[in-house]
Structure 1
């Protein structure tokens, strides 16, 4: 039997991202192979409460909210939709936990780990870099830690997550088919910081 081998969407751009980083100013890298599971359920149902108990925190109930546990980040994606992010290799267990908590109630649990990859942008110039291609107000008062938004970045649909406002850190969830384009755009947009 053939051995399965996975390759991240940005394996060919790892050097490009690293070469675009400037120590103490800006760092670009891929966060590959995270577990990503989409959950759809009525937020007012008993199932939503069971799911919150099972994962260790209640599902965020406001636009752009992010809930965290030691191993998970739960992003609000819509009135009845969340994206749960966990460690590499954790998608199957996370899916099983959510499915069991959902029980017989109407809803869905789907492993979407292969759908997107994550580009991490950190450093003092990260907001400035992202603002070159994003219409959102990324000021720390408007887009703080543990907030997310679905938006366009360089004409590419992404989910943007602010992980830390004090030491600016962002995760950009981008579809695998657009990942190389976005990595090249970020590298080009970061060129001025290397001078």
Structure 2
């Protein structure tokens, strides 16, 4: 099997509780699931202010862009603020109406630029009761203080990453060219849990 393919298909299950254990006991057992989100439309919008956006995104259920470091969900997509005047727009639906062409049309009379990052980013879902412990092994940011909807730009294992918190679940965006290095970091970082 091709090494690149093997790493891209990498899934980690760690200490998943037995089916007959009570829910209370499950929370005390460390577990984490790390998997790649195979399909994700991902656009970067740069140079747009919250005021400059106005009501341009109303047709998609978004009445205001999120504040810096936060996210907001629309009908079938999310907008993440990943820097001053910078927004990542993400949808996991292939038939999303929130397409690159439509987004550019809506922002045509602004100074904003829109770039398609769909094939430039590795999108990874990290979930489970030990997801925070797992991320803290390689990220210097205060992962414990993140609340649902928070977005940070930091590093994981010396690789630049955008991290979106959704409770105990996280979506991590890493440059696609660092994908193999990221999966290797994941493998090494989970060794302490593998018993």
- TM tier relative to shorter chain: 0.7 to 0.9
Whether contact under 8 Å (2:66, 2:79) holds in the other structure is no
Q: Using a 3 Å threshold, how does the CA distance of structure 1 residues 111 and 14 change in structure 2: closer, same or farther?
A: closer
TM-score where L is the length of structure 2: 0.82
Of 121, 138, 144, the match for 1:133? 138
Report the CA distance between 1:180 and its aligned residue.
1.3
Question: Aligned runs of 1:37-48 on 2, under 5 Å?
Answer: 37-40=43-46, 41-45=48-52, 48=53
Whether contact under 8 Å (1:122, 1:170) holds in the other structure is yes
Q: How many residues align?
A: 179
Of 20, 34, 37, the match for 1:31? 37
Question: Aligned runs of 1:20-169 on 2, under 5 Å?
Answer: 20-24=13-17, 25-40=31-46, 41-45=48-52, 48-90=53-95, 93-139=98-144, 142-163=145-166, 165=167, 168-169=168-169
Q: Secondary structure at the match of 2:79?
A: strand
Which residue number corresponds to residue 193 of structure 1? 193
RMSD: 2.2
Whether contact under 8 Å (2:69, 2:80) holds in the other structure is yes
Whether contact under 8 Å (2:60, 2:75) holds in the other structure is no
Report the CA distance between 1:59 and its aligned residue.
4.2
TM-score where L is the length of structure 1: 0.82
Q: Secondary structure at the match of 2:75?
A: coil
Q: Using a 3 Å threshold, how does the CA distance of structure 1 residues 144 and 21 change in structure 2: closer, same or farther?
A: same
Report the CA distance between 1:112 and its aligned residue.
1.2
Identify unmatched segments of 5+ residues in structure 1. 1-9
Identify unmatched segments of 5+ residues in structure 2. 18-30
Whether contact under 8 Å (1:21, 1:27) holds in the other structure is yes
Q: Deviations over 1:48-102 (max 9, x none)?
A: 0133313311343422100002311100022211000012435785222222221
Higher helix share: 1
